[in-house]
Structure 1
Amino acid sequence: MDWVRGETLGRGSFGKVSLAVPRSHGIAGASPAMVVKSCGVSCFDSLMNEKAVLDELRGCREVIQCFGDCYSFENGEKLYNVLLEFASQGALADKVKNSENRRLSEIEIRKYSKALLRGLGYIHKFGYVHCDIKLQNILLCEDGEVKIGDFGLAKKNGGEKLGCELRGTPMYMSPEMVNGGEQGPAADIWALGCAVAEMATGAPAWKYSDVAELLMRIGVGEEIPEIHGKLSVDGQDFLGKCFIKDPRKRWTAEMLLNHPFISGEENGATVSLEASAPSPSPRCPFDFPDWVSESSSITSLPRPESEYSPADRLRGIVSHQSPNWSQDSDEWVNVR
């Protein structure tokens, strides 16, 4: 597809996201329906992975569409570009932030959760795990449709454990990911629970002072995120099914779609998911992964991985300098 790069929406150390206008539509007065995600060819593995995964998941209305890829030479640099569907209403994180009291109504939470569960069910059915479900990666289109975006960290289910590598965003990580590097479909469900809790309260599911404390709380003991009392009994029970520590007992996307909190929403009041107004920043946050730790940068423990405890694993993870874990990393510049 022949296209013209438009306004830059976001920029980071690995690349940038821009509006993209098909050349056949002309430039003046065009309304782009795409964004282009670009990075240098020296660091394009994550973006190529995202394109490959989206190609396999094509056809799911809750997954962002990919329109193709190409290479370009710009300002003396060779870039790898992936063309993606433009979610003009931005991220669900922006909607929560700009909502009254910085949280959503339960009716809205049910609607968004149902769409996310349909998308996750489709992703898991095709043998993939998203690995980075969070409000920043849940996108809203002009017609109110919900889309799951940013598949740069997605992987096939059933692969090798990650050892001391961490993949995803810490405050959304599941206990099994922190403890043993296990990241299957159940880890996406835990992250969904964190997203639902954040929609209900306007604050992250975990309160913590530093990353080491956060990982210990997630990985050691029986503590789970607080289930907010302002949710209905069904809503609190729904979160309880997402926050089961044992991934083998945690409910699946298919099971949760039949939970009364989701399946009963048609019997109550309904609201339109169409955003009343665009978020202050109209960017579609197809961000590159915030970070992925390099296994080689962490000293291996002197015994087989299967023999050391969760506490040993956590010490191995947090005792070395880590990438920036913040959701609001200064490495990204939002352009308005």
Structure 2
Amino acid sequence: MCEALKTQYQVNEEIGRGRFGTIFRCFHPLSNEPYACKLIDKSLLADSTDRECLQNEPKFMTLLSPHPNILQIFDVFEDDDYLSIVMDLCQPHTLFDRIVNGPIPETQAALLIKSLLEALAHCHRMGVAHRDIKPDNVLFDSADNLKLADFGSAEWFGDGSTMSGVVGTPYYVAPEVVMGREYDEKVDVWSCGVILYIMLAGIPPFYGDSAAEIFEAVVRANLRFPSRIFRNVSPAAKDLLRKMICRDPSRRFSAEQALSKFITFCRRSLRVRVSR
């Protein structure tokens, strides 16, 4: 653990563990504010891709902060052995834990996806594509505010450049990524659309018994709305899903378009008062 971290924060109990590091609860002695500290063991970074992810997370989180729906970074400490990132303290359960047991009401799904689209639109305005949008990377703070996290796979596209490389998680990755084509930031919109579909249906739109089968289903992109599952889902929600989970990226909504459409959808179809 970095000595500089220990001199500025009191590090307490472990609250989570990931592939490369451990998350601890900590607090600042002067302000007495609680935070989370992600301690990354550099010895576990096996290749250049892992090391790039290590540097991406604090770089992009710093660029994108502050935003009410993006996990905020407060301090970074690094030595030869560890990288320590002090950030928002969130609840132990992610969006995945909220949706794993089946569909959730459309009004609740609308508010969650609106917050996620707010975060995504901000990322894209700043020229950053997340590239690994999935429920596991969506957290909630103590006030239950949604926080987009894990920018290890993020990429800069602000100069108008396209991106490449198979990055993401099978159920949520866009078809152009699977096919090895160059792509733009709309891959994130596809992933958000898949999350919305899962929240409303309780199942993913494209699935299989293996990663290869899932990828094949994603590439076909045969989007369906089974009547027995979607009988209580509004036409407005299904229309939005078609525009977000659109196989042709040139016709797929941008994050800004999806957010604008979603605000109209919330106001007119769900009668939920929202403001940008």
TM-score, normalised by the number of residues in structure 1: 0.69
* More RCO (CA 8 Å, sep 6+): 1
Quick one: which amino acid aligns to residue 223 of structure 1?
N
Q: Any conservation in 2 of the 1:108–1:271 contact (CA below 8 Å)? A: no
By how many angstroms is 1:222 displaced?
4.9
Q: Which amino acid aligns with 2:93?
A: G
Paired residue type of 2:68: R
Distance 1:95 1:271, change over 3 A: farther
Q: Are positions 1:23 and 2:29 aligned together?
A: yes
From 230, 238, 241, the counterpart of 2:240: 238
1:117 offset after TM fit, Å?
Answer: 1.1
Could you tell me which runs of 5 or more consecutive residues in structure 1 were left unpaired when the two chains were aligned.
273-336
1:134 is aligned with what amino acid? K
Which structure carries more helix by proportion?
A: 2
Letter in 1 for 2:59: A
Helix, strand or coil for the counterpart of 1:56? helix
Q: CA deviation at 1:135?
A: 0.9
1:181 deviation in Å? 4.0
What are structure 2's unaligned runs of at least 5 residues? 46-50
Amino acid at match of 1:251: F
User: 1:122 and 1:245, CA in 2 relative to 1: closer, same or farther beyond 3 A?
Assistant: same
Counterparts of 1:1-336 in structure 2 under 5 Å?
2-24=8-30, 33-42=34-43, 43=45, 44-71=51-78, 78-88=81-91, 90-97=93-100, 102-157=102-157, 158-159=160-161, 161-162=163-164, 165-219=165-219, 221-224=220-223, 226=225, 229=230, 230-259=232-261, 261-267=262-268, 268-270=270-272
The DSSP-based 3-state class of the residue aligned with 2:98 is helix
- Checking the alignment, whether the CA contact within 8 Å between 1:89 and 1:142 is kept in structure 2 is no
Distance in 2, Cα, partners of 1:10 & 1:103 = 27
Name the SS of the counterpart of 2:208 in structure 1. coil
Q: RMSD in angstroms over aligned alpha carbons? A: 2.5
TM-score by length of 2: 0.83
- Partner in structure 1 of residue 48 of structure 2: none
Indicate the larger mover: 87-96 or 56-65.
Answer: 87-96
| Structure 2 residue aligned with 1:325 | none
Identity rate of aligned residues, in percent?
25
| C-alpha contact 1:57 1:126 (8 A) present in aligned 2 | yes
Deviations along 1:215-259, whole A, 9 cap, x unmatched?
12222x452365752421111111000111111110111111222
Does the aligned pair in 2 maintain the 1:110–1:262 contact within 8 Å? no
Distance in 1 (alpha carbons) for counterparts of 2:183 and 2:10: 38
